[in-house]
Structure 1
Amino acid sequence: MRKAQTFNEIMLDRCLHPDPLWSTLADKLAVRNYVKSTIGEKHLVPLIAVPDAFTQQVFDALPASFVMKANHGCAFVKVVRDKSDVSFEQLKQLADEWLATDFYLASRERHYRSIKPRIYFEQLLLDRTGNIPADYKMHIFTREQGDPIVLTGVISDRFGSPRHDFYDTDWKRMDIVLGDYPCSTVPAERLPNWDEVIRVATRLTEELGYVRVDLYVFDDEIFFGELTFTPGAGVAPILPERYDYEWGQLINAMPPPLARRSEGMSPGK
């Protein structure tokens, strides 16, 4: 059988043949143990509640602002800036829809099948200007020799007019278009703590093989978002098309992962 060559081919193969460890690390609650043991608890978004059931009492105890999420897939996110603008019934209906969703059926990423769905609530992150910070989606390609290659998609104004821009390891904007969001008219300035952002991201992935690390970076703070092992589920259009092949070659040239089976990473923890 021909070895997968392009990024999307490799992601499709990963969807069908996942490492069992990915089910733990793709679980947005279970992965917190790994993050805490690897880069420290200070990089975790503070949890407000992880209820066994979402009830009126849980809703009443929530603060004035928060984010409601589910742990077993992507796009299960509801930002609540002012609790007085929503009702328990509205959020309960949404939570029930999420919990009833088998994310594996949506994308055929097999490592999601064994994740038990949970609803949880996090602190709403806002920068000094009161805006939701950008989402840094960092594709980490380790090498046998030399520093990792880091290609970062920055999604800004995600809940308004989203833009998606790509930067290389040295924060030079690239001509990549990935997904449906348009690029910004001008590149963003290099983050003052960019070197630390790269250090944190690569520390999380150094023994896992290829993985995309999502971080929130603002006001010199760095918060963990998630680990994604099959971005786009193998069907994401990458333009120009040459990057689909180039990214695939970067993955094929990577050293084999040495996934750590420590207590914080063991399935079921």
Structure 2
Amino acid sequence: MLLKHIHQRARRVIRAVQEAIHRPRPVAMRLLRRSPYLGPILVRSWHRRRFEQRMQRPLRLSPPIDLNDHLVHRIIYDRDPRLKVLCDKIAVRDLIRERLGDAFVVPLLGVWSDPRDIAWRSLPDRFVLKPNHSSGPVALIRNAGDRDTQALTAKATEWLRHDFFDSSLEWGYRGLPRRITAEPLLLGPDGGEVNEAVALTFGGKVAAIRIFIGGKDNPDRSDNWFDRNSVRLPFYSLKYKLGDYVLDPAMTTRIIVAAEAVSAGFSHLRVDFYLTADGLKIGELTPYCGAGMIPWNRRGCDNVFGQFWDNPSRINEIDDLGALIEASD
């Protein structure tokens, strides 16, 4: 009881320090979070508080149980140096190339340390601009109207100003070299907007596949989840509309083969594919899916995928993933 009381008092003190410092002096807070002794305590406290506020349930780390618990546990404690390779959108290309070959790597049109050096005239009419060291920021240039080089340079300069660790507190991003990359804006097999596939893997085994219809900036973007047999699953993320996509079994097989080859040796990875006119391309390998706050509409998703993290061999034993998730709600 005494230890529990001391721990609770310590957490209250840390929370008070955070609140006192963070608002008026964010620079000081960033420095404290990077300090070797107080930093890990502040980072743990921040992740726990954010998780419990957003997810409206306790965070369980000793041991982690659900998928979101496992993801936050990885964020706080896992220091596998490979995480930095996965988080760096330039370095990860070598891993993808080594395991699957060049055909799965999205081509690079250019890499720049200073946005003022971007060779705009060498870029095609359609391309994607994004930083290598963070998650989320992207500029999609579809036509001449999107090609405001002054505005894009200013946006890219802002991207490079920040170490993404200081906003995400995810160790894999800390201290990554900061670059701006340009890639072609990929097209789907019909020449239209490219769809995306996300494979959730555990221990190098695909547990489920998510298909996105519509681009990231499309207000009508929708998604569907499927099992390893292309059967649509009875759940969805609360972030997007439920779609009506039909996943071809041959495509499922191609996704599984590629995702399992590239994720081998990792307890969990989200493998992000583009379904392009030139076949499957891997956009990212994501170790911190949803920052550990995936908003499932069914409680059973979090629980079942957490079980797969602990025991990936179960994936091959499941005949009806949808029924298992419904039973776990």
Shorter-chain TM-score category? Answer: 0.7 to 0.9
Alignment pair present for 1:244 and 2:314 = no
Deviates more, 1:216-225 or 1:162-171: 216-225
Uncovered stretches (5+) of structure 2, i.e. residues with no partner: 1-60, 314-329
Deviation at 1:176, TM superposition (A): 2.0
2:245 is matched by which residue type in structure 1? P
1:170 is matched by which residue type in structure 2? N
Match of 1:14 in 2: 74
C-alpha separation between the residues in 2 aligned to 1:45 and 1:28? 11
- Equivalent residues of 2:199, 2:206 under 8 A apart: no
Q: Rg larger in 1 or in 2?
A: 2
Q: Deviations over 1:227-247 (max 9, x none)?
A: 111101112222201111111
C-alpha separation between the residues in 2 aligned to 1:105 and 1:179? 27
1:238 is paired with a residue of what secondary structure? coil
> Structure 2 matches for 1:144-183, cutoff 5 A?
148-158=205-215, 159-160=217-218, 161-183=220-242
C-alpha separation between the residues in 2 aligned to 1:228 and 1:9? 16
C-alpha separation between the residues in 1 aligned to 2:277 and 2:123? 25
Alignment pair present for 1:79 and 2:140 = yes
Deviates more, 1:220-229 or 1:4-13: 220-229
Match of 2:22 in 1: none
C-alpha separation between the residues in 2 aligned to 1:110 and 1:56? 29
> Structure 2 matches for 1:52-71, cutoff 5 A?
52-55=113-116, 58-71=119-132
Which of 88, 92, 105 in structure 2 is aligned with 1:31? 92
Cα distance, 1:253–1:192 mapped onto 2, change above 3 Å: closer
Q: Which one has more relative contact order, counting CA pairs under 8 Å at least 6 apart?
A: 1
Match of 1:101 in 2: 162
Uncovered stretches (5+) of structure 1, i.e. residues with no partner: 256-269
1:182 is matched by which residue type in structure 2? K
1:114 is matched by which residue type in structure 2? G
Q: Deviations over 1:8-62 (max 9, x none)?
A: 1111111112322110122110011111111001111111111232226612221
Cα distance, 1:224–1:175 mapped onto 2, change above 3 Å: same
Cα distance, 1:101–1:42 mapped onto 2, change above 3 Å: same
Extract structure 1 runs of 4+ deviating beyond 4 A.
none
- Equivalent residues of 2:228, 2:252 under 8 A apart: no
Cα distance, 1:220–1:121 mapped onto 2, change above 3 Å: closer
Alignment pair present for 1:213 and 2:213 = no
Match of 1:196 in 2: 254
Cα distance, 1:11–1:178 mapped onto 2, change above 3 Å: same
- Name the structure where helix makes up a greater proportion of residues: 2
> Structure 2 matches for 1:117-128, cutoff 5 A?
117-128=178-189
C-alpha separation between the residues in 1 aligned to 2:206 and 2:104? 22
- Equivalent residues of 2:87, 2:173 under 8 A apart: yes
Match of 2:292 in 1: 234
1:166 is matched by which residue type in structure 2? W
Deviation at 1:220, TM superposition (A): 6.2
2:181 is paired with a residue of what secondary structure? strand
Q: Deviations over 1:195-220 (max 9, x none)?
A: 12210111001112211100112346
2:103 is matched by which residue type in structure 1? K
**What percentage of residue pairs aligned between the two structures are identical?**
26
C-alpha separation between the residues in 1 aligned to 2:110 and 2:247? 36
Cα distance, 1:193–1:236 mapped onto 2, change above 3 Å: closer
How many pairs were matched up? 250
Cα RMSD, aligned residues only: 1.9
Which of 278, 300, 312 in structure 2 is aligned with 1:254? 312
TM-score by length of 2: 0.71
Deviation at 1:85, TM superposition (A): 3.5
Which of 80, 91, 99 in structure 1 is aligned with 2:152? 91
- Equivalent residues of 2:212, 2:222 under 8 A apart: yes
C-alpha separation between the residues in 2 aligned to 1:225 and 1:97? 23
Q: Deviations over 1:133-186 (max 9, x none)?
A: 11111101248xxxx3431121110232110211111111112222411111x2
- Equivalent residues of 1:38, 1:203 under 8 A apart: yes
Match of 1:259 in 2: none
TM-score by length of 1: 0.86
